[in-house]
């Protein structure tokens, strides 16, 4: 009988095979994630590091063209030399900006820039220089007649049209790059989902294999050993399975009660091992904003996810130009990896679109990019602070109304929703743009519903009144202190945190303060 038994295998060999499979899977998944993440970073760099600055630079070139046209016309009309200062100063700046711009764009856009510079040169040589020459000779009638002919306006309109065409070419490339980034993010989300499924499948298969090759032989050995312990000392132990189990079975007759004690301890350890499942820990993505230092603005924000899950909230701060900063706080429905991945997609898309499109078109574009996400929805507040105009323009997509506090009287005004939630099922709807004064000393406090709906032991919500009280107690304090105070008040009030708690504070100040 002994000669007919299969050669026993080692449990260590089973563990090594399972460990090898897990390691190989981890390496493959890691490589795929790294490659995809690198592609996402490359697409985002193209948008934020090349195309966005290119459009800004092109706008500056147009402004210099306008300076030349305004200065030349002022000189023709008045004869005063100081009007030519902007005209003369703009020439070298235009060349410098165009040289920088050509290094940032594709050959197609460079062709459009060439058309624009040719149109500008034609305007200079055909109209501007003859008009200036006549004016400098003192032939004002001749200069006036040249201006009145309308030829200069016609040629300058061609310059504007060529600049618009170049800007449209860059915008088209921005759209293509944004779509590519969205596709990569979608691929990344699918890859993450497949990763979770693969690890779960590997865990289940490993558990089944371990049960069949190790736990089942141990169970047989346990039954035979219990029979011996019950007095059937003539009962032979037929141990199969791993080599370690076979060796234990062969020693049963000589170990008896000592072996039974060891088997009992081993059984308890095995039961503990059976009851404990391997933990699959999800990687939490960072959905906070990058630090921004801006003279005249004090900004601070914090996201605290609900216990044990990934956050569905995200916030962002985007510098649009020297005078404008966009602030975003959004809440994707749900928690966990799915909500976090969608939040990352929304954050990336908003950062790419802000500054490229009017504010009333930003959320429709975001919504249209969510087609295929089913009944997913999110609330969002997007505001643009304009330091030059002392204003705040915003859209509120079903988000809890932020509070805008005026330094004049300390009143806090609620910025109510200007449209519905962001969801692919709400196609065709839009969002109105609100405008408020936002001068030095004024504060904007944005928060998620996790702040308002935090409940105490008596099931009473934190509510908006407590937010107002916290703002009143911290009036004139730095933005970070306001965030800390609201978080502390919510923490003291809530018996248990059931939802993500996110706060963003923006305050007009006379000193620059980094966002934390």
Averaged in consecutive runs of 10 residues, what is the pLDDT profile of the chain (516 residues)?
A: 54 75 82 82 78 84 86 82 84 86 84 88 88 82 81 88 87 86 85 84 81 76 76 70 73 54 40 33 42 74 74 88 93 78 88 91 90 81 95 96 86 94 88 95 94 90 94 89 93 83 88 43
| Domain termination residue (choose one: 130, 158, 181) | 181
Order of strands, edge to edge, in the sheet holding 324-332?
Answer: 313-319, 324-332, 378-386, 391-397, 434-437
CATH number, residue 457: 3.60.40.10
What is the torsional sign of CA 386, 392, 397, 401?
Answer: positive
Residue 254: what pLDDT?
Answer: 59
298: in domain: yes
413: in domain: yes
Residue 431: what pLDDT?
Answer: 95
CA dihedral 229, 234, 240, 245 (to 10 degrees): 40
* Residue length of the chain: 516
Measured distance CA(325)–CA(444) in Å, rounded = 13
Spell 117-126 as b/e; 16+ CB within 10 A means b: bebbeebbee
Q: Assess whether 166 and 312 both reside in one domain.
A: no
Q: Assess whether 304 and 433 both reside in one domain.
A: yes
CATH number, residue 95: 1.20.1440.210
215: in domain: no
- For the entire predicted model, the pTM comes to 0.46
| Domain termination residue (choose one: 181, 200, 222) | 181
CA dihedral 177, 179, 180, 183 (to 10 degrees): 160
Q: Assess whether 432 and 292 both reside in one domain.
A: yes
Strand stretches in 181-246, DSSP E = none
CA dihedral 184, 185, 186, 192 (to 10 degrees): 110
Strand partners, 404: 413, 444
Measured distance CA(445)–CA(293) in Å, rounded = 18
216: in domain: no
407: in domain: yes
Token pair, residue 180, equals 């590519």
Strand partners, 308: none
Q: Assess whether 176 and 299 both reside in one domain.
A: no
Q: Assess whether 169 and 294 both reside in one domain.
A: no
Please tell me whether residue 90 adopts helix, strand or coil conformation.
helix
Distance (Å) of CA 117 to CA 123, 125, 155, 269, 273: 10, 12, 12, 80, 75
| Domain termination residue (choose one: 120, 146, 181) | 181
Write a three-state SS string for 383-443. EEEECCCCEEEEEEECCCCCEEECCCCCCEEECCCCECCECHHHCCCCCCCEEEECCCCCE
211: in domain: no
Residue 97 · residue 64 · CB < 8 Å: yes
Phi-psi region of 390 (alpha: psi -120 to 50; beta: other; left: phi over 0): left
Residue 214: what pLDDT?
Answer: 74
Burial status of residue 495 (CB atoms within 10 A of its CB: 0-12, 13-18, 19 or more): exposed
Q: Containing domain of residue 177, as a range? A: 42-181
Residue 231: what pLDDT?
Answer: 74
459: in domain: yes
Kindly give, in sequence order, each residue whose CB lies less than 8 Å from that of residue 65, ignoring residues fewer than 6 positions away.
90, 94, 120, 156, 159, 160, 163
Domain count for the chain = 2
Q: Assess whether 53 and 172 both reside in one domain.
A: yes
Residue 26: what pLDDT?
Answer: 82
Order of strands, edge to edge, in the sheet holding 412-414?
Answer: 297-304, 501-508, 443-447, 403-405, 412-414
Residue 257: what pLDDT?
Answer: 45
Residue 307: what pLDDT?
Answer: 56
Residue 44: what pLDDT?
Answer: 79
292: in domain: yes
Residue 267: what pLDDT?
Answer: 40
Strand partners, 300: 505
């Amino acid at each position: 009988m002994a000669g007919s038994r299969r050669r026993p295998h080692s449990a260590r060999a089973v563990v090594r095979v399972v460990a090898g499979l897990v390691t190989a899977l981890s390496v493959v998944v890691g490589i795929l994630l790294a490659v995809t993440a690198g592609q996402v970073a490359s697409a985002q760099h193209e948008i934020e590091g090349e195309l966005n600055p290119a459009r800004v630079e092109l706008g500056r070139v147009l402004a210099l063209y306008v300076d030349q046209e305004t200065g030349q016309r002022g000189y023709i009309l008045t004869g005063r030399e100081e009007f030519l200062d902007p005209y003369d100063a703009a020439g070298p700046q235009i060349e410098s900006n165009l040289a920088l711009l050509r290094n940032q764009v594709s050959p197609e856009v460079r062709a459009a820039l060439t058309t624009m510079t040719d149109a500008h040169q034609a305007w200079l040589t055909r109209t501007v220089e003859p008009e200036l020459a006549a004016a400098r000779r003192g032939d004002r009638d001749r200069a006036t007649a040249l201006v009145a002919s309308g030829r200069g306006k016609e040629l300058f309109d061609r310059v504007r049209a060529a600049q618009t065409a170049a800007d449209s070419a860059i915008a088209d490339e921005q759209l293509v790059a944004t779509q590519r980034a969205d596709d990569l993010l979608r691929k990344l989300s699918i890859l993450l989902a497949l990763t979770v499924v693969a690890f779960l499948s590997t865990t289940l298969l490993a558990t089944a294999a371990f049960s069949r090759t190790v736990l089942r032989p141990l169970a047989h050995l346990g039954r035979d050993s219990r029979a011996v312990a019950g007095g059937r000392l003539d009962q032979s132990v037929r141990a199969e399975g791993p080599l370690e189990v076979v060796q234990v079975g062969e020693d049963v007759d000589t170990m008896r009660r000592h072996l039974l004690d060891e088997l009992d301890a081993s059984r308890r350890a095995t039961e503990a091992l059976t009851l404990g499942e391997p933990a699959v820990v999800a990687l939490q993505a960072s959905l906070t904003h990058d630090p921004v230092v801006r003279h005249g603005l004090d900004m601070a924000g914090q996201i605290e996810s609900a216990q044990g899950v990934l956050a569905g909230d995200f916030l962002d701060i985007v510098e649009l130009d020297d005078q404008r900063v966009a602030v975003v706080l959004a809440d994707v429905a749900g928690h966990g990896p799915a909500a976090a991945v969608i939040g990352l997609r929304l954050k990336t898309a908003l950062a790419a679109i802000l500054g490229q499109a009017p504010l009333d078109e930003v959320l429709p574009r975001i919504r249209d990019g969510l087609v295929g996400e089913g009944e997913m929805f999110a609330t969002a507040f997007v505001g643009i602070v304009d330091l030059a105009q002392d204003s705040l323009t915003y859209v509120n997509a079903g988000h809890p109304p932020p509070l805008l506090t005026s330094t004049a009287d300390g009143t806090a005004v609620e910025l109510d929703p200007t449209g519905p939630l962001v969801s692919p099922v709400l196609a065709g709807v839009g969002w109105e743009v609100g405008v408020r004064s936002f001068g030095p000393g004024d504060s904007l406090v944005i928060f998620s519903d996790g702040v308002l709906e935090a409940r105490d032991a008596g099931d009473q919500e934190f509510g908006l009144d407590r937010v107002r009280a916290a703002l009143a107690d911290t009036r004139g304090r730095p933005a970070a202190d306001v965030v800390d105070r609201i978080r502390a008040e919510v923490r003291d009030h809530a018996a248990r945190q059931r939802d993500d708690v996110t706060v963003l504070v923006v305050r007009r100040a006379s000193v620059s303060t980094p966002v934390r």
